[in-house]
Amino acid sequence: MRSVVVQQPGHLEIAERPLPQPAPGEVRIRVKHAGICGSDVHIFHGHNPFAKYPRVIGHEFFGHIDAVGEGVDPARVGERVAGDPVVSCGHCYPCQIGRPNVCTELQVVGVHRDGGFSEAVVIPAGNAHRVPETIPDDRATMIEPFTIAANICSQLQPGPLDVALVYGAGPMGLTTIQALRGVYGVKTVIVADRIDERLEMARVNGADHTINNGRENLADWLTQHGVRPTLIVDAACHPSILPEAISLASPAGRIGIMGFSADPCTISQQGITSKELTIISSRLNSNRFPMVIDWMARGLIQPEKLITHSYPAEQVLEAMETFEKDQKQCCKVLLNF
Ligand code: NAI
């Protein structure tokens, strides 16, 4: 089979590899489409501290099961599935309380083990989620990115009284905007980004107000409009954002962060406790595939709005370059196998 392999940082190739056989409890998926995420580019450039090389990258993938390992129902062969990249031990404290996404032995498909930029990938059978026929193949590839939004929203519990502020209108911000609008029905969605074209995407995906906070002062804008965000999602993930979010949030507000920057930022207890703010973090997803499949099946979210490009897998380098360098036009790029 052909696989996209990062042999070592900076060196990516399409390699011929033996077709993997599913171990007991696993299934093999024939990949149809896979989506490019920022973390794939980070592994390519050697900027992901968790990656081991050589590595088949890709953790957003859709296809059909073509082989099952011992102990897996053979009737699953032929099933259309999306793969959850979170592989967990099932025994540690986080796993026992339903948070396998932070399992002490966490293995992320495409990061710690070989992923979905390949004609075939093997994953635990429980990670392969059946996709109803009503969801087309390319949209099903978007299930994983929406699980990130599902995970942070499940913790923040948005509701109709909420005035939401989302920092960042990249794929993570846009999936969150769609969920806040289409699933949770928040009152208002305000989005801040520094790229006008991305703010336009935010409007298309459901934002009520957009602010270019590279040009305009966000605090001033909110004051002028008499708005105190009750729910803030940082999907831009710059360390300067959390202190600002704490100062902008309404009393009793909630703030969700999803960044991995190692750079420190300065926050004060007073800023948090005086308003009794809730600050949560969210990593990957904890069993959110069924939730997102249900959202898609019910038409609550529109994954097609995020898919801007599609390339044959052979053009992976061009696809990754477009994804990385053209933030004005590009949102989600799919590879076709
Ligand atoms: P992206 O780079 O495509 O989008 C980020 C957006 O934020 C860009 O449009 C950029 O212009 C904007 N931005 C940057 N600084 C800003 C600021 N100070 N104020 C407002 N906007 C600003 O990235 P993507 O794929 O949307 O991911 C966003 C972040 O989420 C990344 O840092 C990524 O590492 C993180 N992430 C976290 C996950 C998790 O499970 N916790 C999963 C996936 C991504």
- Compute, in angstroms, the gap from residue 18 CA to the centroid of ligand 1: 36
Instruction: List the chain pLDDT tens, one digit each, 337 residues.
Output: 999 999 999 999 999 999 999 999 999 999 999 999 999 999 999 998 889 899 999 999 999 999 999 999 999 999 999 999 999 999 999 999 999 999 999 999 999 999 999 999 999 999 999 999 999 999 999 999 999 999 999 999 999 999 999 999 999 999 999 999 999 999 999 999 999 999 999 999 999 999 999 999 999 999 999 999 999 999 999 999 999 999 999 999 999 999 999 999 999 999 999 999 999 999 999 999 999 999 999 999 999 999 999 999 999 999 999 999 999 999 999 999 9
- The whole-angstrom separation of Cα 100 and Cα 94 is 6
Q: Is the CB of 218 under 6 A from ligand 1?
A: no
- ipTM score assigned to the predicted complex: 0.99
Distance 229 CA to ligand 1 centre (A): 19
Q: 148-281: what fold?
A: Rossmann fold (3.40.50)
Number of other residues whose CB lies within 10 A of the CB of residue 297: 13
Give the C-alpha separation, 100 to 203, whole Å.
34
One DSSP character per residue, 184-206 reads S--SEEEEEES-HHHHHHHHHTT
Give the 3-state secondary structure of residue 276.
coil
DSSP state of 311: E
Classified as helix, coil or strand, 63 is: strand
Range list for CATH 3.90.180.10 in the chain: 2-142+306-336
Classify 273 as helix, strand or coil.
Answer: helix
C-alpha of 277 from chain center? 25
For the chain, how far is it from start to end, CA to CA, in angstroms? 10
Q: Is 46 exposed, middle or buried (0-12, 13-18, 19+ CB in 10 A)?
A: middle
What is the Cα–Cα distance from 290 to 336, expressed in whole angstroms?
Answer: 24
Cα separation, 249 vs 254, in Å, equals 8
The CATH H-level (homologous superfamily) assignment of domain 2-142+306-336 is Medium-chain alcohol dehydrogenases, catalytic domain (3.90.180.10)
Ligand 1 atom 23: the closest Cα is on which residue?
170
Distance of CA 194 to CAs 61, 174, 330, Å? 30, 14, 15
Q: What pTM value is reported for the model?
A: 0.98
Task: Note whether 26 and 69 are within 8 A (CB).
Answer: yes
Q: How far is the CA of 259 from the centre of ligand 1 (A)?
A: 8
Residue 145 Cβ inside 6 Å of ligand 1? The answer reads: no
Our answer on whether the CB atom of 256 is closer than 6 Å to any ligand 1 atom is no
Is residue 217 within 6 Å of ligand 1 at its C-beta? no
Residue ranges of the chain that CATH labels 3.40.50.720 = 148-281
Pocket test for ligand 1, best of 237, 257, 280, 324 (most atoms within 8 A of CB): 237
Distance 102 CA to ligand 1 centre (A): 20
